Chains A and B, each alone.
Chain A
Amino acid sequence: MKKYNENIFRIVITIGAILSSILVLLVFFYILNESLPFLKKVCWKEFLLGGTWSPLSSNPSFSFLPMILGTLYVSFLAIAIVMPLGIGCAFFLSFLVKKSHSKVILSFIDMLAGIPSVIFGFFGLVVLVKFMEQNLDMVTGESVLVGGILLSVMLFPYVITGCAETLEKGKEKYYIASQSLGVSKWYTMRVIMLSYAANSIFVNLLLAFSRAVGETMAVMMVMGNSPIFPRLLGRAETIPSLIALEMGTATYKSIHYSALYTAGLILIVIILIIQFIAYKVNKMGSRRFK
């Protein structure tokens, strides 16, 4: 009887695992398959280095360059903002605040990760965009700058939680030793802790970057969505917004439709490259401090 149950359990588990693996692979190969017609028809030079995106004109041109640049621009901007703030805040929480207080603050920062991105988009629209329009004398507040600021707030949890964790570990390892050698608290933090955590901070930033690249709703709602070359105070469009905005209007199996899948594929490739670098750096770092 026991033996019988055991086999059933094993079979159920295996079927579940196989089912999810098939689903996962299906998604990936489907995307690949649907973008093939476009990749065959349009030369890579045109869609990576061309000038304009106008899929519906009589002489259609497909260039993802403005969208790729827009995506990278807004993500780099977000990282540039979140890097000093996030690292500083992680130090602040691990060294300057009481443990019980920092736990509460960290759990609130974590909760930010649970807030749906459409709410952030709404927040950006009613607070940041409005602020830009009223105080910076801009025609429209929708810009790359707003997208970057908003994204940086959304990235807080991903950067700060990881960094604070590493700093806690570093504190256990070196802090007391360094204190008993008479090294000042600030020197310990500035030199020892920063160099100890540098690697993992870098990995956290990379992972945050790959999140920023894939973010759709929040960015879409505050960036104006014009497929033009991005400027800091001008409108721009990201690849995810492009897909979200045009997937409803593209005719099934048309070249436009296939182009959208290719855009998705490019996005996945960008994310894979970032994650691969993060994986390698992480491996190197864990070797160094053993």
Chain B
Amino acid sequence: MKIKDIIFKSWIYISGIIVVVVTFGVFLYFLYKGIKVVTLEFILEAPGGMPLGTEGGVFPAIMGSLMSGLLSGLIGGLLGLCTSIYLVFYCNNKKNQKYMLHALQLLAGIPSVIIGLFGYTVLIVGLGLNKSLISVTLTLTVMIIPFIALRMKKALEETSKDQFICSLSLGIPKGYTIIHLVIPNALKYIMTSLGLGIVFAMGATAPIMFTGAVIIAGVPNKLTDPIMALPYHLYVLVNEGISIEMAYGTAFVLIVLVLLINLICHFIGNFEDV
């Protein structure tokens, strides 16, 4: 074996092992550190202690994150689905299609902190909304529309074109075909994209820092209530040096929540196949 091959071989083995160790290391680290902190009370209680956050739990933050994530997922998902269906099946003008696609890709590339800046000046300063669930939801929606639309477009394009054309030539209307044939076929990928979108929204910190997340709030009852959010809570705990223990717990809850939503969406998507 030549010396070049040996170098190549060792490079691949070493980098492969490093990546695998680091990846599992990150997960195991939070699992190990978090499992000691997370109890039923931690999940079901509001933060307490002095300074705030040193005791108690993260229940309002979980609810705040879930509500804002799911709401923006709902709005963003619907708009994203409409956009992708329009792009794939209804847009007859190739030029318009190209422009729309470029615009979506442009927004998908904009860092989330700029969306936060936009949301802050337009919603909070410009329109005079309170820091609230609705301002967070709208900001996150703007952020995830291109993210979801581009993924759903890919999913719709990968469905069978033959089936679609057969259905049309049988005289079945286009809309009916899309609802009853195309969407069920692509459901798996549509749900996965939606799940990724919700997870993306729930994990975002920069956009919500100034648009609505506050340090302490109850579970929101209406759209204009301020909310707590897990990622922002974690950031405050760490940045103000309030409690590293509680931060481990919060990180653990956030990771588990994110993975759970991914799994649920995956499950719903696969349900039709069975």
Is the beta-carbon distance between A24 and B117 smaller than 8 angstroms? no
Contact segment of A7-15, A39-47, A136-144: A7-15
Contact of B125 among A24, A184, A213, A252 (CB under 8 A): A252
User: Contacting B203 at CB < 8 Å: which of A15, A114, A122, A190?
Assistant: A114
Of B35-43, B45-53, B104-112, which binds chain A? B104-112
Q: A111: CB under 8 A from chain B?
A: yes
Docked complex: B189-217 residues within 8 A CB-CB of A: 196, 199, 202-206, 209-210
- For the side of the interface on A, what is the size category? 35 or more
B170: Cβ under 8 A from any A Cβ: no
With A119-B255, A267-B111 as given contacts, are A30 and B122 in contact (CB-CB < 8 Å)?
Answer: yes
Does B80 have its Cβ within 8 Å of any Cβ on chain A? yes
Collect the chain B residues with CB atoms within 8 Å of residue A97's CB.
16
A residues 18-77 in Cβ contact with B at 8 Å: 19-21, 23-25, 27-28, 30-31, 34
* Residue among B18, B24, B106 facing the most chain A CB atoms (10 A cut-off): B106
Contact indicator A16/B81 (Cβ below 8 Å): yes
In B4-47, the 8 Å CB interface with A consists of 4-5, 8-9, 11-20, 22-24, 26-27, 29-30
- B residues sitting closer than 8 Å to A (CB atoms) are 1, 4-5, 8-9, 11-20, 22-24, 26-27, 29-30, 78-83, 85-87, 90-91, 100, 103-107, 109-118, 120-122, 125, 142, 145-146, 149, 173-176, 178-179, 196, 199, 202-206, 209-210, 231-232, 234-235, 238-239, 244, 247, 251, 254-255, 258-259, 262
10 A–B contacts from the bound complex (CB under 8 Å): A9-B175, A19-B82, A85-B15, A89-B19, A96-B16, A123-B30, A160-B19, A221-B239, A252-B121, A264-B114
Residues of A within 8 A of B (CB): 2-3, 5-6, 9-10, 12-17, 19-21, 23-25, 27-28, 30-31, 34, 84-89, 91-93, 95-97, 105, 108-109, 111-112, 114-119, 121-123, 125-127, 153, 156, 160, 184, 186-187, 189-190, 210, 213-217, 221, 240, 243-244, 247-248, 252, 257, 260-261, 264, 267-268, 271-272, 275
- For the complex of A and B, the 9 pairs showing the least CB-CB separation, nearest first, are A16-B82, A92-B16, A88-B15, A116-B203, A214-B111, A9-B175, A17-B86, A89-B19, A186-B5
